[in-house]
Amino acid sequence: MRLFRRAFIAIGLSLLWATAVPTAAEAADKEAATQVAAADAKAEYAANGEQTCLKCHDKAPATNILHTKHAVKGDARTPFANHQCESCHGASPQHTRKGAEGEKRAPPTVTFGPKASTPVEEQNKVCEGCHENSARISWKGSQHQFAGVACVSCHDLHTPRDPVLSKTSQPEVCFNCHKQQRAELHKPSHHPVIEGKVGCAECHNPHGSPTDKLLSGITVNDTCYQCHAEKRGPFLWEHGPVREDCTICHTPHGSVQPALLKNRAPFLCQQCHQIGHHPFGARGDTDLAGFQPQLVGKACLNCHQQVHGSNHPSGVRNMR
Ligand code: HEC
Ligand code: HEC
Ligand code: HEC
Ligand code: HEC
Ligand code: HEC
Ligand code: HEC
Ligand code: HEC
Ligand code: HEC
Ligand code: HEC
Ligand code: HEC
């Protein structure tokens, strides 16, 4: 009993210690916050907030931001609950100040877009300040971050509805840079992405992913099982390549072969199988009408229909 009590005291003390003494990370956070506060106090934000800006920028697209989630003043996390326009564009007295006659107006501190004078990294920092949460935990080091893609290469903030957030308008945003996928998705057999039924972001995480190719699942197959759960099994008789990687046989975006196949049976199957051991009639012999069953119609699939695996007690040959 004494031992227990001592243990409790020890735990209690260590909890007390943990709450009383800030960790190094907490201290760093605090310091950063103090620095931001100090910078904020020094910065010359417009006296009348967004009203200052809206005096001149009284038309769309500038005013569209007022109809977005960023402009919800009642939500303390939003730009409009803070320095309004200048939460994103930075304190910009040089821009709002009345210049000398004929003098060119200096741009705001932060401008966005491909032609902006603000470097991409600085543009992204503005967004990351508020959005560096679990949803974008893999952004740093992701293919997009590494290639210098800006948040606003995909996101459009001065519109009432950001096109990249909707399945129907999202593909066009991606196609701006990924032309090959546009072509693939127009092939006869394709995932219905152009049709607005499947979004790129259902298979990919554009903000980064621990996988190759920015996949949304932890493997290719896990990505596919999100919608094709029946292919997960378990099966009594598994088919090796199916377990391994769906893209051994399928291409994800589009194909000229039916069912998004990379190749047609029998060629698809013959990459791995020779059919020499087949029983009579399936060995390549012609039947009475002169057909070779593994080469015509659905070829191998005429007989081996359960190519993804079988649960039939005698389905060892993936035939039922
Ligand atoms: C006195 C008028 C005036 C005020 C006040 C004003 N602007 Fe401007 N702003 C302009 C003019 C003029 C331009 C340049 C013409 C153009 O491209 O629209 C401009 C351009 C911009 C641009 C585009 C810059 C670029 O290089 O792409 C942004 C962003 C901007 N303003 C934001 C703001 C913000 C934020 C505020 C408030 C802090 C503000 N403006 C206040 C007149 C004003
Ligand atoms: C959440 C961040 C954010 C806030 C808040 C914000 N902007 Fe912007 N602004 C941007 C981004 C990003 C762009 C680049 C174009 C785009 O994404 O729509 C931009 C572009 C602009 C432009 C150039 C538009 C063009 O295409 O010619 C002007 C002008 C502008 N903003 C003014 C304002 C004004 C005025 C406010 C406040 C009423 C404001 N912005 C608030 C992020 C913001
Ligand atoms: C001052 C903090 C702040 C800044 C700066 C900021 N955001 Fe936001 N953003 C928010 C908040 C808060 C929301 C609303 C989140 C919610 O409703 O859950 C939001 C929402 C969004 C959404 C979702 C919009 C929707 O309609 O669902 C996107 C996309 C977004 N922000 C992108 C950006 C980008 C890109 C930038 C940089 C140009 C940026 N934000 C800058 C705070 C910020
Ligand atoms: C390659 C395009 C692309 C880039 C670059 C990108 N996003 Fe996104 N973002 C998207 C897509 C697509 C969605 C919708 C995701 C979904 O539907 O699952 C989204 C959703 C969001 C949302 C709303 C939902 C959420 O996840 O909270 C926020 C906020 C956001 N992005 C912020 C950012 C910020 C900040 C950056 C830069 C660090 C960024 N995005 C860069 C494509 C992009
Ligand atoms: C501004 C241009 C741009 C936009 C817009 C864009 N990307 Fe990218 N994307 C890139 C670049 C650059 C790379 C890295 C180089 C490469 O591998 O092509 C990349 C890489 C990728 C990769 C990884 C490729 C690999 O080989 O690992 C995927 C997946 C991807 N993007 C999907 C998307 C999706 C989905 C969208 C739309 C939500 C999108 N991208 C929008 C430019 C863009
Ligand atoms: C059904 C799921 C799915 C959808 C929807 C999807 N992709 Fe993919 N994508 C994948 C898979 C899986 C891979 C990896 C292929 C591989 O490794 O052979 C991939 C690869 C990529 C690559 C890298 C290509 C390469 O050859 O390295 C890019 C870029 C890409 N996708 C962009 C997009 C864009 C843009 C969209 C929407 C217009 C999209 N994807 C929609 C599953 C999908
Ligand atoms: C977000 C859901 C979703 C994900 C994730 C997904 N698919 Fe699909 N898949 C669909 C839809 C929807 C269809 C079209 C079904 C229809 O037309 O009846 C489809 C159709 C198919 C088809 C049949 C095409 C045809 O023409 O008959 C194949 C093969 C396929 N998907 C393979 C995959 C593979 C491989 C993956 C993983 C890389 C994957 N799917 C990921 C939704 C998804
Ligand atoms: C990437 C190589 C690969 C491809 C492509 C492939 N298979 Fe297989 N297949 C295997 C392997 C490995 C096995 C052995 C055991 C297993 O199922 O894991 C197998 C087993 C089989 C079996 C059961 C054999 C037995 O001994 O019970 C049949 C039937 C079969 N495959 C048919 C097909 C058909 C039909 C196709 C084309 C649609 C095909 N395979 C494509 C690799 C492949
Ligand atoms: C060994 C080659 C092979 C592999 C690996 C493979 N498939 Fe298939 N898949 C096929 C063939 C062949 C068809 C066409 C069947 C037909 O025409 O009857 C097909 C058809 C499909 C279809 C459409 C018809 C149906 O059965 O629903 C979907 C969806 C599908 N596959 C998903 C997947 C998924 C998900 C994976 C990974 C878990 C996968 N496939 C792995 C060969 C393969
Ligand atoms: C007319 C029906 C039929 C067609 C068409 C057919 N098979 Fe078979 N296959 C069989 C039967 C029946 C067996 C079982 C033989 C046994 O149990 O000894 C078999 C066995 C197999 C096996 C396992 C035995 C071995 O040889 O290792 C594989 C692998 C196989 N087939 C692949 C294929 C491929 C690949 C094709 C297409 C090129 C194909 N089959 C076309 C009926 C067929």
Q: Cβ(88) to ligand 2 under 6 A?
A: yes
Residues 6+ apart with CB under 8 A from 6: none
What is the pLDDT averaged over residues 128-133?
90
97 vs 51, higher pLDDT: 51
pTM of the full structure? 0.91
Q: To the nearest whole percent, how much of the chain has pLDDT over 70? A: 79
> What value, to the nearest 5°, has the Cα angle with vertex 149 and ends 112 and 113?
15
CA 30 to CA 10: how far, in whole Å?
28
Q: Which pLDDT score is estimated for 184?
A: 98
Query: Could you report how far apart the first and last alpha carbons of the chain are, in Å?
Result: 65
pLDDT in tens, 43-94: 799 999 999 999 999 999 999 999 999 999 999 999 999 999 999 999 999 9
Distances (CA, A) of 162 to 8, 70, 157, 317: 54, 12, 6, 51
Q: Cβ(304) to ligand 8 under 6 A?
A: yes
Domain ranges (residues) in the chain: 120-225
Whose C-alpha lies nearest to ligand 5, atom 39? 174
CA 232 to CA 220: how far, in whole Å?
12
CA 9 to chain centre: 48
The CA 205 to ligand 5 mean position distance, Å, reads 10
CA 127 to ligand 3: nearest atom: 37
Encoded amino acid at 202, one letter: E
pLDDT surpasses 70 at 8:
no
Q: To the nearest whole percent, how much of the chain has pLDDT over 90? A: 63
The CA 231 to ligand 9 mean position distance, Å, reads 8
CA 50 to ligand 1: nearest atom: 37
CA 192 to CA 170: how far, in whole Å?
13
Q: Cβ(253) to ligand 2 under 6 A?
A: no
Question: What is the rounded average pLDDT for all residues in the chain?
Answer: 85
pLDDT surpasses 80 at 286:
no
Name the residue of 45, 53, 66 to mutate for ligand 1: max ligand atoms within 8 A of Cβ: 53
Q: Which residues line ligand 6 (CB under 6 A)?
A: 171, 174, 178, 181, 185, 191, 193, 198, 200, 202-204, 213, 220, 223, 247, 252-253
pLDDT in tens, 290-319: 455 555 567 788 888 899 999 888 767 776
